[in-house]
Amino acid sequence: MVTVGMLDRVHPKKNLKAYPFAAVARLEGIEFFYFTPRDVDLKAKKIMGKFYENGGWIKKQTPFPDVIYNANSSADTEEEKIIIEALRSLVPFTSYPVGNKIKVFDMLSKSAAFSSYLPDTKEAKSVRSTIDFINDKKRAILKPRNGRKGEGIIYVSCIEDKYEVIQDNEKKLLSKKEFISLLKKVIHKPYLVQQFITSRTKLGNVYDLRLHVQKDGSGNWKICTIYPRIAPLNDIKANISRGGATLYAAPFLKQEFDENYFNMKRYLEVFALSISREMDKLYHTSFDELGIDVGIDEKGKIWLYEINWHPGVPPTFYLELDVVKTSLKYCMYLAQKFQSKNTSLHASRPVIAVTGSVGTKTTKNMIASILRKELNVFESKGNWNTYEDTRKHVHQITPFHEVAVLEYSTEGEGDISKHCQFIQPHLSIITSIDPAHTKNIKGGISGAAKAKSEIIKGMDQNGILVINGDDPNSKLLDIKRFQGTVLKIGVSEGCDFRATSIQQGPEGISFDIEVKEEKVTITLPTLEKRDLYNALFTIAASSQMGVSLREIDEGLKKYYNPKKR
């Protein structure tokens, strides 16, 4: 049975989705519970969850769920932040927030396919720049950067040297001085100013359309519903919670677009699915449910107003239950996706971390290059190797990444422990401990070995540790209490991954290696001897992920010759 935990910050009685999820989950044969960050015990890997039984919410201790439905993963304290980030590294989350309105527009402005659908929008940082924007556009909307349900929206229209303002359903004609006074009161809070798009019905009512999309049980985007939201006459806010009305999409589109209604319906559906896929791509993540608000101008062009993560429940009871059912099917898809993984690491999302004095970046790049042929790899890029970068990676690694390959740097004692606190490795590599790279670490070579040993203590204690069998300083590593598998690479006797018959010529370095009765000759088009060790670490890590030596050999050739990729 799949277990789904809903993460939020309030009591389940205050979350409108909690009871429908519990009810539908029971019908679907899913175990469901509700929890907050305060209910999590990271050390015991247990949660004091709230289960709906006999008409009420009952507390029970339970293991971590198979999937976390992310209703709200914001954190008020550093402790809560660590708990949530740890959960993200251990359990697949259904989704992540899209950010505020400016964030969404900034992301979509990078899209060649969708930037043209964005009305001009900017942050209202100063009175002067805001007035200049409004004067240029003639009509504009002021709205809170983090607003919802139409709260705080102000419509402004330039009429000669005055400004017509609609605020809280009240229309006023203000002088420039009066308007400046209003702006000063408004934009001391985070506001944005947006070009006003004329999207009106034949009767003159302002309207927008909510395109509600979800991921289904196959992990694909589907249309949940499309419905118009129509503002009262002489008002600009179409939100239903602010007095707007709604209709079914088909009769509304027939009424407004006559014989062209079917083409408009298809236009909206294709737009909704296409922009949802684009959001996944732009954010390098996987969203589960989006509410896309659009307008249609007098020429029939779609304009994007905003995109909401986990939008409100559609205004039809049967659709509320349909949304919940689709969400739970997506949870089951994620659970099955991760439970079906079968690697030597026995982890739903293996994490490979590389640290050491030299060769860490090259080794990390090689491993990611090999694994990327068959798996969806998250790789730390460039010099993003500090523990603060690892902390950010927690948010960037998504349920669709099948393995993470990271570099863990250190400037001193405690740094690698922090890396592991944010993302615990299942396979760790310590390339070497070089005296030339210990100047920032107290205690010289012994201090460096102690600092590198933090990855051994912080990793999965039943995982795999790969070290340099030719480096005498590797003997200083603290591996006595490590319960997992220790593998050595090198050229000396006793190494688990040993290079033999090494030859160096004008075309590079070649060597033989044998793993599990498979023997190949590997040629590296490089004269750098240290690349021999980088390759051996790559072979060790990749073979633990089920990659054959021949596949690794081909991958290394393509790594050194990108044109063949």
Distance separating alpha carbons of residues 563 and 280, to the nearest angstrom? 28
Q: What angle do CA 70, 72, 78 make, to 5 degrees?
A: 110
Nearest to 317, CA basis, from 31, 112, 101, 20 = 20
- Asked if residue 101 is part of any domain, the answer here is no
Question: What is the predicted pLDDT for the residue at 342?
Answer: 41
3-state secondary structure of 172: strand
Mean pLDDT (the chain, rounded): 88
3-state secondary structure of 68: strand
Q: What pLDDT, in 10s, does the model give residues 19-43?
A: 999 999 999 999 999 999 999 998 7
**Tokens found for residue 411:** 């400037």
| More confident position, 149 or 163 | 163
- Asked if residue 528 is part of any domain, the answer here is yes
Do 210 and 190 fall within a single domain? no
**501 pLDDT band (50/70/90 cuts)?**
very high
The maximal CA–CA distance of the chain, rounded, in angstroms, is 88
Nearest to 51, CA basis, from 90, 18, 9, 89 = 18
Residue 127: partners with Cβ closer than 8 Å, 6 or more residues away = 180, 183, 184, 187
Task: Read off the CATH number of the domain in which 158 is found.
Answer: 3.30.1490
**Tokens found for residue 344:** 């030597």
**242 pLDDT band (50/70/90 cuts)?**
low
**188 pLDDT band (50/70/90 cuts)?**
confident
- Asked if residue 97 is part of any domain, the answer here is no
- Asked if residue 200 is part of any domain, the answer here is no
- What is the pLDDT averaged over residues 197-217? 92
Do 181 and 224 fall within a single domain? no
Residue type at position 453? S
Do 226 and 356 fall within a single domain? no
3-state secondary structure of 65: coil
Nearest to 513, CA basis, from 546, 536, 486 = 536
Do 64 and 22 fall within a single domain? yes
Q: Which of 195, 225, 244 is the last residue of a domain?
A: 195
**46 pLDDT band (50/70/90 cuts)?**
very high
Task: Read off the CATH number of the domain in which 283 is found.
Answer: 3.30.470.20
Q: What's the domain count of the chain?
A: 4
- What is the pLDDT averaged over residues 152-175? 87
**185 pLDDT band (50/70/90 cuts)?**
confident
Do 356 and 315 fall within a single domain? no
Q: What pLDDT, in 10s, does the model give residues 210-232?
A: 999 999 999 999 999 999 999 88
Is pLDDT above 60 for 256?
yes
Distance separating alpha carbons of residues 537 and 500, to the nearest angstrom? 15
Q: Which of 46, 72, 90 is the last residue of a domain?
A: 90
Do 323 and 431 fall within a single domain? no
Q: Where are the beta strands (DSSP E) in 82-241?
A: 121-123, 139-144, 154-159, 162-167, 170-175, 191-195, 207-215, 221-230
Is pLDDT above 60 for 241?
no
Count Cβ atoms below 10 Å from residue 412 Cβ, excluding itself.
Answer: 12
Question: What is the predicted pLDDT for the residue at 28?
Answer: 93
3-state secondary structure of 195: strand
Structural domain including 475 reads 351-564
Do 442 and 547 fall within a single domain? yes
Residue 513: partners with Cβ closer than 8 Å, 6 or more residues away = 497, 498, 499, 500, 519, 520, 522, 536, 539, 549
Is pLDDT above 60 for 76?
yes
- Asked if residue 395 is part of any domain, the answer here is yes
Do 360 and 448 fall within a single domain? yes
Do 536 and 464 fall within a single domain? yes
- What is the pLDDT averaged over residues 108-133? 92
Residue 415: partners with Cβ closer than 8 Å, 6 or more residues away = 386, 387, 409, 451, 454
Is pLDDT above 70 for 561?
no
3-state secondary structure of 49: strand
Contact (CB, 8 A) for 412 and 443 = no
